[in-house]
Amino acid sequence: MSHTFSASLFVLFFSITLHAQNATYLKVNEDSISLEEFRLQFANNIQEEGFEKAVDTYIDFQLLYDRAKELQVDTTTYYKKLYNQVSGEMLGSKLVDPTLVDSLVRATMQKQKQEHKLKIYTFSVQSPFTEAQEQQALAQANAMHQQVCMGKKVPKPINDTVQAMWFRSPHLPLEIESAAAKIKPGECSKVELSNNRYFFISHQGSRPTLGKVQFARIFTKNKEKIQTAHRELVNGKSFKDVALQFSEDTRVNENFGVQSAVDYYIPDAYYKEFSSLKPGEFSEPFQFGDDWYIVRLLQKKPCDLEDDCYQTTKQNLLKSSHTEIFQDYTLKQALRNVPYELHHPAKQEVIEAFRKNVANRNPPAFTQEKPVLSFPGSHISQATLYQNLTSVLSTWSDNAQLQAFIDAYIPFWTEQMILQEYESNLVAYNPEYREELETFGRALMVNYVMETEITQKAAQDQQGLQSWLQQNASRFQHPIRYRVEIYRYQGQSLGSEIEKALKKGENFEEIRERFQNENTGEQPQFIAASGLIQAGHHEFPTDFNFNKELQNITYRGMPAWVVVREKLQPTTMSVEEAGEDLVADYSVQVHQKLLQELRQRAQIQRPGTFRQ
């Protein structure tokens, strides 16, 4: 009965290039397309749905787009947030090669089969261009390395309190991950320089990763309480009931302590239990920090390419320091695609002014606007380069070190400006991205028409909905239903009291009011409900007899008395009762009517070769 309705059918086909270079075979108002390009863009859909339907779908999409232009729809007003979000995602996909991402995800998932316990020692270099500071950091790193890794008694250069932590790819910087891969547990890496810091690592041990783990837990700060809970479990009480009774986890009432441990650091105490338990088994009480736990393993499986571990790894990878690989890829794309010119005389003027002001400790004062770096239609001024130089550098002692800084910084700055130009103007440098943005904007306009002119209009047309309901009454029928009262209870004595009250003829309100005061303690002892239900309801026993007035069953985990008060024959639903199904069904008709009107006044040139 349900008819779902959305713009997805049209979005499926909107990737078509609208300005064909060869002969026009199809024209809708002012838009034309060639047969060759149509076949290329719609190849998969033509195979699945047929060429004729693909053509009709394109025509309908174009007519709705023309309707949006009639209404002067502005996507930046109606869909600005969505447009910015999706266009940003599209930009990201264009800046990074999907094949590169996939290969890195697969390689990372291989590395994730092992976790490594590492102590990481780092020694920051305050300025990479000050040789004395760099030598001081290197001396500190070497002294600590000798002390930690060679057992030599040397003066401690810094506080050496470094906690050993479990790590897995891609949560480590690339250089540390590479260093860890070269050594075994008990060994140290060499002292290396990376990103303005010296570092080395001490490898403390490895273990297999658990993959995807789902578990339930009971948590308390009281040792005696956790021991009592464990005895209850051993005696056969369900984990759910024990969790409700003993756990101090605030989330326990929602999901009985069920959590998912996927792709994050698992503490040693939990790891020990998870690695020894089988699904369905629960642990002995164990302590973690100041708290006590019992865990029940629900599921454990390795991450693979077929489940959400792939997507989780991909998301983590894109947030990690591994993005340097993607940035290098993007920079290469920019250097290949962006025409630029570096103006050396203007650049040298900035360098000389910068050198003079640094030597004299003068404040920044360069204001000239000559271009230092030019792109098609834009340029980077001398003032911008000067500001960038002074923002990176604070103090300098001599010109020899200053020259080293300039020699290192200017090429880096040039590459960053080219990269910025490429990312900011990708539409100009990447025709495919420009076409995708254009078609996405067209799709938003079509979606606006479908939402306001069809879906919302149908939902607000009460007279039209009522008329459509009458025409299609057989599709919107209530089945045979029964008016029932359900009285759930805990304890045989309370059940007997409820039965007596029902047989005496007391009504629903009287019984509910009389026994409501039984609800004392943590768990409810009495719950009453009434309403309409149809035969075969999944919460009722299959042998439940709706022709019998009073019966005793188990309902939602509790014993219950059920009273069948009335049998209701099939009836046509009201507009409110039919709800979303009626609106969706009627929306299809509104949509077809709008398309019919648009087709009647459209100019469509469709050659005979498109017809069956």
Question: Binning pLDDT at 50, 70 and 90, where does residue 3 land?
Answer: very low
What pLDDT shows up at residue 457? 92
Angle separating helix axes 575-600 and 462-471, nearest 10 degrees:
100
Helix (H) or strand (E) holding 556: none
User: What is the token pair recorded at 48?
Assistant: 């699945």
pLDDT of 587 strictly over 80: yes
User: What is the token pair recorded at 545?
Assistant: 């007899």
User: To the nearest 10°, the Cα dihedral for 516, 518, 522, 527?
Assistant: -40
Give me the DSSP letters along 416-453: HHHHHHHHHTHHHH-HHHHHHHHHHHHHHHHHHHIIII
What pLDDT, in 10s, does the model give residues 379-435? 999 989 998 888 877 655 555 577 778 888 899 999 999 999 999 998 888 888 888
pLDDT of 4 strictly over 60: no
User: What is the token pair recorded at 516?
Assistant: 């409501």
What pLDDT, in 10s, does the model give residues 260-312? 544 445 677 788 888 888 888 999 999 888 889 998 888 887 777 666 778 88
Give the dihedral sign, CA 592/598/601/607: negative
Residues 447 and 5: beta-carbon distance below 8 Å: no
Look at residues 416, 399, 414 and name the one whose alpha carbon lies nearest to residue 359.
399
Q: Is 238 exposed, middle or buried (0-12, 13-18, 19+ CB in 10 A)?
A: exposed
Distance of CA 145 to the CA centre of its chain: 41
User: What is the token pair recorded at 392?
Assistant: 């990176």
Q: How far is CA 40 from CA 171, 211, 426, in A?
A: 42, 42, 25
User: What is the token pair recorded at 286?
Assistant: 């164990």
Give the mean pLDDT of 438-448.
87
Q: Which of 32-46, 238-252, 473-487 has the lowest average pLDDT?
A: 32-46
What pLDDT, in 10s, does the model give residues 196-215? 789 999 999 998 888 778 88
User: What is the token pair recorded at 590?
Assistant: 């509104």
Q: Whole-angstrom Cα distance, residue 40 to residue 413?
A: 42
| Contacts by residues 502-508 (CB-CB < 8 Å, ≥ 24 positions apart) | 502/550, 502/561, 502/563, 503/550
* AA letter at 338: V
Residues paired with residue 117 on neighbouring β-strands, in sequence order: 166, 205
Report the 10 Å Cβ neighbour count for 560. 21
Q: What is the reported pTM?
A: 0.57
